[in-house]
Structures are given as structure tokens and as C-alpha cells.
């Protein structure tokens, strides 16, 4: 799970091995910068995190246990990022970016992990 805690300066994540009986306490672990956090988990236990104020992805291949490796992402920072796991072991990312005219353009990337 990822959350943004307004007033505490950041994006946070929490993990559990049993989401059906999860008693969430505490804020979790801070990652990235501030702004809307997003996460994606594939069926092999790879967790991918990102937030709106960083160009990096945070990747953990052990179901979120242990540290995360930062990997550069080609997409611009953006408030509305989305990450989807693909069946080929890659992730698909999409973000809305202000194009300088007040309009929003969509950018996407298919990224191997």
C-alpha cells in the first residue's frame, strides 16, 4: 500500500503478508519525495513504487521485504502516474504532463525490470 501523508512531507509504503487481517498502525516507510505515491505488485513478488516528485522507480523483487533499488524512468514527473504489471515481466507506466499550453498530454513507457 502507498499513501501520501500531507503535512509529513512524503510518500510512504507499507506491506503485509495477509491483507485480509491487516491492522495498519504507524506511517510506514518514507520513499522518494513528496507527492502522490503509486505502487504495483506483480505475481512474482516484484514491488514497484513511484511518486509524483521523482523521475525514479523504486524496485524490490522480494515482496517489499528489504531495501528498494532506484531505477531511472524516462517519464517526466507527474501528479497522476499509473503503473501496471505486464505478463512478460515488464511494467507499463503512464503519466499526464502539462505541455506548457495549459493542456495535459499523456506519456507512457514500457519498462523492463
Tens of pLDDT, residues 3-51: 887 777 778 888 877 778 777 777 888 887 777 777 777 768 888 888 8
Give me the number of domains the chain comprises: 1
- With 0.85 as the threshold, say if the pTM is over it: no
Question: Which residue segment(s) compose the domain that 98 sits in?
Answer: 39-112
In a domain, 90, yes or no: yes
Alpha-carbon distance of 63 to 17, in angstroms, equals 9
Residue 60 domain-assigned (yes or no)? yes
- Please say whether the beta carbons of 95 and 81 come within 8 A: yes
Q: Is residue 87 part of a domain?
A: yes
Residue 20 covered by a domain: no
Q: How far apart are CA 41 and CA 45, in angstroms?
A: 6
37: β partners: 51
Q: Could you give the CA distance from residue 105 to residue 6 in angstroms, rounded to a whole number?
A: 27
CA pair distance 78, 27, nearest whole angstrom: 23
Q: Is residue 58 part of a domain?
A: yes
Cβ–Cβ under 8 Å, residues 88 and 44: no
In whole angstroms, what is the distance from residue 62 CA to residue 42 CA?
Answer: 11
In a domain, 30, yes or no: no
Q: Specify if 91 maps to a domain.
A: yes
39-97: pLDDT as tens digits = 777 768 888 888 877 878 888 998 888 889 998 887 777 767 778 888 887 888 888 77
3-state class (DSSP) for residue 102: coil
pLDDT of residue 69: 92
Cα(9)–Cα(12) distance, rounded to whole angstroms? 10
Report angle CA 73, 49, 35 to the nearest 5 degrees.
Answer: 90
Amino acid at each position: 500500500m502507498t499513501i501520501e501523508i500531507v503535512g509529513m512531507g512524503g510518500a510512504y509504503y507499507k506491506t503485509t503478508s495477509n491483507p485480509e487481517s491487516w491492522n495498519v498502525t504507524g506511517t510506514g516507510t518514507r520513499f522518494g519525495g513528496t507527492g502522490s505515491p503509486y505502487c504495483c505488485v506483480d505475481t512474482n513478488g516484484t514491488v514497484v513504487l513511484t511518486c509524483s516528485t521523482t523521475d525514479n522507480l523504486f524496485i524490490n523483487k522480494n515482496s517489499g521485504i528489504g531495501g528498494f533499488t532506484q531505477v531511472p524512468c524516462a517519464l517526466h514527473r507527474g501528479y497522476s502516474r499509473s503503473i501496471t504489471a505486464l505478463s512478460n515481466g515488464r511494467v507499463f507506466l503512464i503519466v499526464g504532463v502539462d505541455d506548457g499550453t495549459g493542456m495535459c498530454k499523456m506519456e507512457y513507457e514500457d519498462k523492463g525490470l
